[in-house]
Amino acid sequence: MPARPAQLRIVQSEVAPLPDGRWITRWTFGAPGGVTAEVLSLGARLEALHAPDRDGRRANLVLGAGRVAELLGPAAYFGATVGRCANRIAGGRLPLDGTVHRLATQDTGHTLHGGPDGFATRLWDGEPVRADDRVGVRLRLHSPDGDQGFPGALDAEVGYLLDAEGELTIDYRATADAPTVVNLTNHAYFNLAGEGSGSVLDHLLRVDAAGYLPVDPELIPLGPVAPVTGTPFDLRTPRLLGPAIADPHPQLALAGGGYDHAWVLDGTGGELRTAAVLEHPASGRRLECRTTEPGLQVYTGNLFDGSVTGRSGRPYRAHAGIALETQHHPDSPNRPDHPCYPSTVLRPGEEYRSTTVHRFGRSMS
């Protein structure tokens, strides 16, 4: 039976210092015995989410590092709010209003998730939030003009709110004082069997999309949308991840032996609709992801190599988790004339808004 709203709780605590002496804050909230979430101020990240299986046994379903050094290194994106512009911008090249801005890039020569010092590495300001039927935290970050090469100062906000029935709503807002681009997402890796329990290859995944974006060897979209029909990217009916990514399709090989691709979601961007459903038949857990975003980047942790040790004390190997990143499409700033790439431009006087809802419940399989 779901918890009553009056049973929802939130606890704030300081958990660890950063190298500069500032402390990371954690907010733990939800219904004791039901679904609870933990959010850190470092990267405005979803650090953990505990949910019961079909027999009421609770487990943490989100991958997370056990040490601050890992959160500042190989686990920087785990559960984090990534931006100012999620995913890849080819060559760090941002054309806007006749000017080409040069962004900070990673070793690949491209800008990934806002650059090497993007929002995932920042300490956000947060405050607890309690509504009639939900509880959580709202976090804010100021990104100055020129941050990682992006034009204009940006004020970003993300809220995590959890209700008594296990529905986690993530709301994003942003405003800017000059034309810029913004594309925020959450980068949590889920394993519905439990963090550190092994791979997600025994999970079922459904994605409501008739098209996806093939990529080049550097994982930059080639251009037009490709139909999923007849490919391992056809997830319109649930498929086991193991057999799906074992397909010899060359796109899977480019991504390191699995998915690291954007699906072009069915329906109308801006309207909240189902993007994906992830299920783990053995535990009976189910995650339904709904979003207002036009796309979904799915990454199956293909390159996990054991360099990150989770809170369970176990290292993460290939396919230890799956990321369902709701967002605008990769390299959107360089595709202004292509109809499948909605604009990521934000201008003064406008407000960026985006909502993603994760509902945790029982599997129907």
- The verdict on whether omega for the bond into residue 84 sits within 30 degrees of 0, i.e. cis, is yes
Residue 322 carries which side chain, given as an amino acid letter?
A: I
Find, among 80, 126, 88, the residue nearest to 109 by Cα: 88
Residue carrying the six token digits 């609770």: 58
CA distance 263 to 274: 13
- Domain tally for the chain? 1
User: Which three-class secondary structure state does DSSP give residue 110?
Assistant: coil
Residue 358 carries which side chain, given as an amino acid letter?
A: H
Q: Can you give the pLDDT at residue 28?
A: 97
Nearby residues of 205 by Cβ (< 8 Å), 6 or more positions away: 235, 238, 239, 241, 244, 276, 277, 278, 279, 298, 322
Report in angstroms the alpha-carbon separations of 206 from 37, 159, 179, 252, 288: 24, 26, 36, 17, 9
Q: Can you give the pLDDT at residue 170?
A: 98
Which structural domain, as residue segments, surrounds residue 222? Answer: 5-362
CB-facing half-sphere around the CA of 299: CA atoms within 13 A: 20
Q: What is the DSSP letter of 104?
A: P
CATH code: domain of residue 298: 2.70.98.10
Nearby residues of 161 by Cβ (< 8 Å), 6 or more positions away: 129, 131, 134, 135, 136, 168, 169, 171
Indicate if 113 belongs to the active site.
Answer: no
Nearby residues of 7 by Cβ (< 8 Å), 6 or more positions away: 31, 32, 164
Which residue in the list 187, 203, 328, 329 is annotated as catalytic? 187
Which residue in the list 38, 157, 279, 325 is annotated as catalytic? 325
Q: Tell me if 291 sits within 8 A of 357, measured CB to CB.
A: yes
Question: From first to last of its 365 residues, what are the pLDDT tens digits of the chain?
Answer: 344 555 899 999 999 999 999 999 999 999 988 999 999 999 999 999 999 999 999 999 999 998 899 999 999 999 999 999 999 999 999 999 999 999 999 999 999 999 999 999 999 999 999 988 999 999 999 999 999 999 999 999 999 999 999 999 999 999 999 999 999 999 999 999 999 999 999 999 999 999 999 999 999 999 889 999 999 999 999 999 999 999 999 999 999 999 999 999 999 888 999 999 999 999 999 999 999 999 999 999 999 999 999 999 999 999 999 999 999 999 999 998 787 889 999 999 999 999 999 999 987 66
Secondary element (H or E) of residue 292: none
Q: Can you give the pLDDT at residue 84?
A: 97
CA-based radius of gyration for the chain: 19
Q: Can you give the pLDDT at residue 1?
A: 39
Whether the predicted model's global pTM rises above the 0.85 cut: yes
CA distance 285 to 133: 23
CA distance 43 to 60: 19
Indicate if 187 belongs to the active site.
Answer: yes
CB-facing half-sphere around the CA of 237: CA atoms within 13 A: 2
